[in-house]
Chain A
Amino acid sequence: MSHLSAETLGRARDLVALYPHRRSALIPLCHLAQEQDGWLRPEAMEEIAGLVGVTPAEVLGTASFYDMLHTEPVGTYVVAVCTNIACMLRGAYELLEHAEDHLGVRAGQTTADGVFTLEDAECLADCGRAPCLQVNHRFFGDVTPEGFETLVADLRRGALDGEVPHHGTLLRVRRTGGLQVEPSRVEAERAASAGAAAGRANQGGKG
């Protein structure tokens, strides 16, 4: 019995087919699994391992390197407040402290009702609107403490459902027009890079 839904699996196979080597799809597939479950469940990592041809431990070992991939449950909304230099100079720590007080959690924690996970984030590259934050990777800029309370209230009553999708949803735009890569080319690329790797191995690992 597959943990990933038929739809997720279908999208996953389309993604795998985009790359000359299956493993390249590992991170995009982790995003897909998060889109389905909200976080990266062990069952999902096991299936991803099978899809890209590595062990489940390799999926976990890779995923755990990346901040966006959550191998523990998170809230419905992951609120990431940037505190890096540009935002700090414009009140980010005051905003983060206010967020902690307002939500009743510390950065890194999830509210008891499971709705909000608060994060102390590194630069999100929206410094023209500092201090900024992201909710499920959607940007909000020039955020004041009062603005933060309004944002939280809006999220709670579903007023931002159109703008802020479920946690883990990255692209709502699908690649269209079918796969543009000819399967014969993928095979040729795989053979070529396998040949190149073998050539380097024969040189005693130099290069």
Chain B
Amino acid sequence: MVVSEAPRIVTSRIGFEDSHTLVRYLDTGGYTGLRKALTMTPEAVAAEVDGASLLGRGGAGFPAGRKWSMLRKGPIPYLVVNGDESEPATFKDHLLLEKDPHQLVEGVVIAAYALQVARVFIYIRGEFALGLERVQAALNEAYAQGAVGRDIFGSGFSVDIVVHPGAGAYICGEETALLESLEGKRGYPRIKPPYFPAAIGLYGEPTVVNNVETMSNLPWIITNGAAAFTALGEGRSTGTRLFALAGQVRNPGVYEVEMVKTTFRDLIYAPVLGGGVLHGRELKAVIPGGVSAPWIGPAQLDTPLGQDEVAALDTMLGSGSIVVMDETTCMVRAAWRITRFFWRESCGQCTPCREGSGWLEKILRRIEDGVGREADLDLLMDTCDNLAPGVSWPPQQTTICVLGPSIPSSIASAIRMFRDDFLVHIKEGGCPHG
């Protein structure tokens, strides 16, 4: 098992106790990317990002450069940074916000310059109190340093950045819901089309929405050039990526690894990474890419961690979260808990999601409690089919946003991969795992 020796692009500083301070940031090359960007034309900065083929790190994996180019034909009033990280078992932006807020700020100013945006809102999940404080403190330092605000580093370019706290709602990670929330409303996703806030975004104006990790890559890309970035990874998946490894592994945590050059097996078992399954047990299944993603089994562990490579397994790299479940895991319980999450977080606008999530949660709960019926398996799949016709991947849409049609992923995975787990519960009238 070989772990590639790629440079750490976004986590180079996190080992320092004071990684969040301006002093440490400047000591480790901070704000040189921005200074360089300001000597280039905005178009050249945008072209560099486009050339890096930086795929958005939020979950959808849309190329950041292309997202920008949809807009650059006219003035763009707003850039919004999505720091509402709430996909279960995803905790990479949490790390970047707390440990390297200046890197985020620098990336945001670079993006604002490329897009010629004068106004940025960084929307941060409300539960990240420390992250909110760290980003605000970094902004205060950056304003004082002349890296944000009026006439940045004497370049004539000005931008204001406002930190905006969320208040606890998973759905606000969906970008149109986030914009509604930022407008002071309930986080209801907006009806599509328009598919992108590029057309109608914040206050009805063209808006770019980018993820925290995406922004945090920009200082390195501008400093080292797009070619250095595309030299890492393979195919469409360039650079490195943060993976949040959780569940039953010895060393859960956030790991920055080179795209495609690392496999699920490397990440989970390499001694310098996951260190293997907890207590040396056997691996039963893995949830790649957040709980909206279909699961994979032990036979698929040699798949490289790349966008297209994982998509070929009919699942996704998504938010970069990887959850390991070992041989002792009750798959009925796992599917139930994930479904319970969606039920609690459904915004309630669309019937299939609002009602379907509750039905599914109740049926799974009764199977787990030992009072399920064999017909319940068909009922589960039938209900899933109402949410996402065909229960295929990527799911067919029946609702305003992707939350509802994502619910069947874990249920269908659990039933298809571990049907016997369900049957044992039903026949024995209880959970064999206690």
Give bound CA distance, A181 to B203, whole Å. 17
Scoring A89, A138, A189 by chain B CB atoms within 10 A of each residue's CB, the highest score goes to A89
On whether A85 and B205 interact (CB within 8 A), knowing A122-B170, A176-B140, the answer reads no
Chain B residue nearest to A34 (CB atoms) is B167
A85 touches B169 (CB 8 A): no
The residue that A127 contacts in the complex, of B166, B244, B344, with Cβ under 8 A, is: B244
Give bound CA distance, A63 to B168, whole Å. 10
B94 touches A86 (CB 8 A): no
Give bound CA distance, A69 to B169, whole Å. 11
B86 touches A123 (CB 8 A): yes
Which of these binds chain B: A23-31, A100-108, A149-157?
Answer: A23-31
B149 touches A192 (CB 8 A): no
On whether A30 and B341 interact (CB within 8 A), knowing A127-B91, A175-B136, the answer reads no
On whether A197 and B323 interact (CB within 8 A), knowing A68-B127, A122-B341, the answer reads no
Closest Cβ of chain B to A184, distance in Å, is 12
The answer to whether B381 has its CB under 8 Å from any CB of chain A is no
B89 touches A27 (CB 8 A): no
Which of these binds chain A: B30-38, B213-221, B233-241, B248-256?
Answer: B248-256
> How many A residues have CB within 8 A of the partner chain?
62
The answer to whether B90 has its CB under 8 Å from any CB of chain A is yes
Name the B residues within 8 Å of A140 (CB-CB): none
Closest Cβ of chain B to A60, distance in Å, is 11
The answer to whether B387 has its CB under 8 Å from any CB of chain A is no
A192 touches B205 (CB 8 A): yes
The residue that A85 contacts in the complex, of B88, B162, B200, B347, with Cβ under 8 A, is: B88
The answer to whether B2 has its CB under 8 Å from any CB of chain A is no
The residue that A137 contacts in the complex, of B129, B144, B148, B164, with Cβ under 8 A, is: B129
Closest Cβ of chain B to A206, distance in Å, is 10
Give bound CA distance, A90 to B143, whole Å. 42
Chain A residue nearest to B172 (CB atoms) is A66
Name the B residues within 8 Å of A9 (CB-CB): none
B199 touches A207 (CB 8 A): yes
The residue that A123 contacts in the complex, of B88, B136, B163, with Cβ under 8 A, is: B88
The answer to whether B160 has its CB under 8 Å from any CB of chain A is yes
Give bound CA distance, A196 to B345, whole Å. 32
B194 touches A207 (CB 8 A): yes
Chain A residue nearest to B140 (CB atoms) is A176
A85 touches B323 (CB 8 A): yes
A171 touches B133 (CB 8 A): yes
Chain A residue nearest to B132 (CB atoms) is A171
Closest Cβ of chain A to B421, distance in Å, is 15
Closest Cβ of chain B to A62, distance in Å, is 6
B126 touches A170 (CB 8 A): yes
The answer to whether B184 has its CB under 8 Å from any CB of chain A is yes
Give bound CA distance, A129 to B87, whole Å. 16
Chain B interface: which size bin? 35 or more
A171 touches B165 (CB 8 A): yes
A65 touches B186 (CB 8 A): yes
The answer to whether A124 has its CB under 8 Å from any CB of chain B is yes
On whether A86 and B247 interact (CB within 8 A), knowing A125-B90, A130-B252, the answer reads yes
A181 touches B167 (CB 8 A): no
Closest Cβ of chain A to B216, distance in Å, is 16
CB 8 Å contact bits of B166-210 with A (1 = contact, 0 = none): 111110000000000111111100000010000110011100000
Give bound CA distance, A63 to B254, whole Å. 33
The residue that A67 contacts in the complex, of B130, B139, B167, B334, with Cβ under 8 A, is: B167
* A-B interface pairs (CB < 8 A), number: 195
CB 8 Å contact bits of A115-146 with B (1 = contact, 0 = none): 00000001111111110001011110000000
A18 touches B162 (CB 8 A): yes
Name the B residues within 8 Å of A62 (CB-CB): 184-186
B160 touches A189 (CB 8 A): no
Name the A residues within 8 Å of B344 (CB-CB): 122
B183 touches A21 (CB 8 A): yes
CB neighbors of B among A18-76 (8 A): 18-21, 23-28, 30-31, 52, 54, 61-63, 65-69
Name the B residues within 8 Å of A170 (CB-CB): 126, 129, 132, 165
A125 touches B127 (CB 8 A): yes
B126 touches A171 (CB 8 A): no
Chain B residue nearest to A53 (CB atoms) is B184
Chain A residue nearest to B291 (CB atoms) is A85
B182 touches A85 (CB 8 A): no
B127 touches A128 (CB 8 A): no
Closest Cβ of chain B to A134, distance in Å, is 7
Give bound CA distance, A123 to B84, whole Å. 12
Chain A residue nearest to B334 (CB atoms) is A85
Closest Cβ of chain B to A207, distance in Å, is 6
B89 touches A86 (CB 8 A): yes
Name the B residues within 8 Å of A139 (CB-CB): 130
The answer to whether B287 has its CB under 8 Å from any CB of chain A is yes
B204 touches A127 (CB 8 A): no
Chain B residue nearest to A20 (CB atoms) is B203
Chain A residue nearest to B142 (CB atoms) is A177
Name the B residues within 8 Å of A169 (CB-CB): 129
Name the B residues within 8 Å of A86 (CB-CB): 88-89, 246-247, 252, 323
User: Top 7 closest A-B pairs, CB basis?
Assistant: A67-B168, A26-B184, A66-B167, A68-B168, A23-B184, A127-B246, A86-B246
Extra inter-chain contacts (14) besides given A86-B252, A127-B91, A193-B205, CB under 8 Å = A65-B187, A66-B168, A68-B126, A85-B291, A90-B248, A122-B345, A128-B246, A139-B130, A171-B163, A173-B140, A175-B163, A181-B119, A197-B203, A207-B200
Task: Give me 6 A-to-B residue pairs in the complex whose CB atoms sit less than 8 angstroms apart, sorted by A's number.
Answer: A21-B183, A68-B126, A137-B129, A171-B163, A175-B139, A207-B194
Residues of A near any B CB (own CB < 8 A): 18-21, 23-28, 30-31, 52, 54, 61-63, 65-69, 83-86, 88-90, 122-130, 134, 136-139, 169-177, 180-181, 185, 189, 192-193, 196-197, 200, 207
